[in-house]
Structure 1
Amino acid sequence: MNTLVWKVDKYVDNLENNPHVVDAANLLRENEVVALPTETVYGLGGNAENDEAVAKIFAAKGRPVDNPLIIHIADKEQLSRFVDEVPLVAKKLMDAFWPGPLTIIFKRKAGVLSELATAGLETVAVRMPDHPVALALLKKCGLPIAAPSANSSGKPSPTNAGHVIDDLNGKIAGVLDGGATGVGVESTVVDCTEPVPVILRPGGVTKEELEAVVGEVRVDAALTNEGAKPKAPGMKYRHYAPNAPLFMVSGTTAFLQSLIEEKQREGLRVGVLTTEENVGAYHADLVLVCGKRAALETVATALYETLRQFNKGNVDIIYSEIFPNTGVGYAIMNRLQKAAGNKLITE
């Protein structure tokens, strides 16, 4: 398959009628799959109402079919097509955070969406992306679009079109190149089918921000239970992993440096994920800066690009600093834990 790449300036007017957006929308209506930019990561979109289209998403990614997909929409009115009810708490969250990096779990109507897209669950995950190219494409095609991250399953998510091509060239119909994404980590997923909202995946909207709108918000225990059937992506299987084994390190910079030297004595090439504040503390074969510790949103934005850079650095092992488990730091640590398979070294 020849994968087309269309560059689209997200700042121009009338994006809905941009010829590249029109071409991509036509392919989606023909049940092909197309990668699209969002404010979080690039998504791999397909018609959520068609089994053939959804099957192509899973095939291109190599994704397990029991892992449900997030449905992307252009406006709230589309919900009535495939959602049973919109609880008051969900309405409040939609008003506060849509369009934006928040996915909401609803009870779904039977017989509308592909069972592959929902992994056979009675619920469905939905979001409205905050990216002009994505919204223009969704409006133009007029379909609910299932769109997981546009990468090979288990690898770091793509934050620019080049990452998509690296993983999926020849496997998908096209890529809408709208430039680099902003948030850098995927959307927060919140289950609104219970009286108290439950975070199923931390992401671009923090727990504190959610609670400022709706009061109490819980965190689901399934985030750390690998045996639980997932209600949302990111709750099962190893994700975001670079090629070399990754270990999180809790301790001083001196302790981490001692780990580096130990592996170098064994003849291994060692990589380190750090921040601007600590970059001078490490002497490794590849030291990569991932944002500023004093501004964790910059770490989130750079995380996947940094993990991908390790693949090009030909390292044998990677050590990563850890981050505060609050605010967007919770999402960062969730991704690092998945990427490392929960491997943590403590001083």
Structure 2
Amino acid sequence: MLLAGEDPIAVERAAQVLAEGGLVGLPTETVYGLGARADRDEAVAAIFTLKGRPSDHPLIVHLAEPGDAAGFAADWPPVAQRLAEAFWPGPLTLIVPRRPERAAAAAAGQGSIGLRCPAHPVARALLRAARERGVPGVAAPSANRFGRISPTRAEHVVEEFGDTLLVLDGGACPVGIESAIVDCTRGHPVLLRPGQLGRERLEAAAGEALREPDDEAPRASGTLEAHYAPRARLRLMPAPMLNTALQVLGPGEVKLALYSRTVRLPPGSRLRHKPMPLQADAAAHDLFADLREIDALGVDLIWVEEPPPDPAWDGVRDRLRRAAAAS
């Protein structure tokens, strides 16, 4: 059931569904989420069931206001405070120690929990309306089948789950890839997943360098090696390799699509080609929608030009590498 996110009555209806333990599709500035009240483990369990997601893979809890983090966090490290002051509301998830009595299912049983205060006006309106009904936060992974391409438009959510799920339509997500995730549980900040917010900006706000993940890092949403995959097999290649591969490709190959910034199809090629935006923010915004469009062509293979090494492309590169690993 698709409802207009700018309609206050629709928002109130969705908030009531959450309060009663049901599921709602909601827009955020990153991707659309599949939400349930985070303080009821049975409600959160319905997310895992509908997505086909392993119950040991934690979810991110979305908050109406930054101050609501106190309801889930057993401790609030100074670096978490600095990052929240800089980027909340916004596309940043902070991993902090969890209150033992709160949100065990959403945290997949870990002693830490991922918290985010989204900036999307529809998400904020829904979270506030839900809070008025006693919902302290909403656990919301991306609203797609587990491991598949994340949704950035309301119709993507309907394609995934049908029209029985209540989905608030907030338009196309302005960022287009999931939030950056910073672990703040171990005395030094660790970047677990890149996003729109670049490392340089995060480090400036944190007041220290972000370390790389290690074996001690908590499990976090969207950090599995294989993720974000289309149905077609996706191969990520540097531009020179991709050019060579296209030149030697047999003329009968028609089940392949190209997604590239600088590489073009050879003259007379019958392959499908979807241009990748030249700028990192635009590429992030379009990435998942473009992959869904290409996948809908029914091709067997998608050849993708590897993004440039510029740090601005870290989020896009991360998603493409995980999509290729899933293939």
311, 316, 319: which one pairs with 1:332? 316
1:300-336 Cα shifts (integer Å, max 9, x gaps): 1111011111221121211111113443311111100
Amino acid of the residue matched to residue 228 of structure 2?
A: Y
CA distance in 2, matches of 1:261, 1:159: 34
Deviates more, 1:304-313 or 1:139-148: 304-313
Aligned residue among 104, 112, 122 for 2:94: 104
Q: Find the counterpart in structure 2 of residue 138 from structure 1.
A: 127
Equivalent residue number for residue 8 of structure 1: 5
C-alpha spacing 1:207/1:342, structure 2 compared with 1 (3 Å):
farther
Q: 1:285 is matched by which residue type in structure 2?
A: L
Q: Tell me the residue number matched to 2:152.
A: 159
For 1:335, the aligned partner's letter is: R
**Matching residue within 156, 162, 169 for 1:169:** 162
- Which segments of 5 or more consecutive residues in structure 2 lack a partner in the other structure? none
Q: CA deviation at 1:69?
A: 0.1
Contact 2:147 2:226 in 1 (8 A): yes
Distance 1:336 1:219, change over 3 A: farther
> Could you say which residue in structure 2 is the equivalent of 1:233?
221
Structure 2: distance between partners of 1:271 and 1:174:
34
Structure 1 pair 53/129, CA: closer, same or farther in 2 (3 Å)?
Answer: same
Q: Deviations over 1:190-235 (max 9, x none)?
A: 011122210011112111111121233334335xx8xx88521112
Aligned partner (choices 64, 68, 87) of residue 74 of structure 1: 64
State how far apart, in whole Å, the 1-side matches of 2:310 and 2:92 are. Answer: 17
Matching residue of 1:12: none
Which residue is 2:110 aligned to?
Answer: 121
Which residue of 246, 268, 272 corresponds with 1:260?
246
CA RMSD of aligned residues (A): 2.0
Letter of the 1:164 counterpart: V
Equivalent residue in structure 1 for 2:143, among 139, 150, 161: 150
Per the normalisation by structure 1, the TM-score is: 0.87
Q: Summarize the alignment of residues 197-208 of structure 1 with structure 2, pairs less than 5 Å apart.
A: 197-208=189-200
The answer on whether the counterparts of 1:273 and 1:321 sit within 8 Å (CA) in structure 2 is yes
1:195 corresponding residue in structure 2: 187
Cα separation, partners in 2 of 1:279 and 1:259, compared to 1, 3 Å: closer
Instruction: Say whether residues 1:323 and 2:304 are aligned partners.
Output: no
Runs of 4 or more off by more than 6 Å in structure 1? Answer: none
| Percent of matched pairs sharing the same residue | 38
The alpha-carbon distance between structure 1 residues 278 and 237, as it changes in their structure 2 partners (threshold 3 A), is: closer
Aligned 8 A contact 1:155 1:239 in 2: yes
SS at the partner of 1:180?
coil
Deviations 1:259-288 (A, max 9, x none): 23544446452111112x544668451101
Alpha-carbon spacing, 1:32–1:328, altered in 2? closer, same or farther (3 Å): farther
CA distance in 2, matches of 1:338, 1:278: 22
- Provide the rounded CA distance (Å) in 1 between the counterparts of 2:212 and 2:23: 32
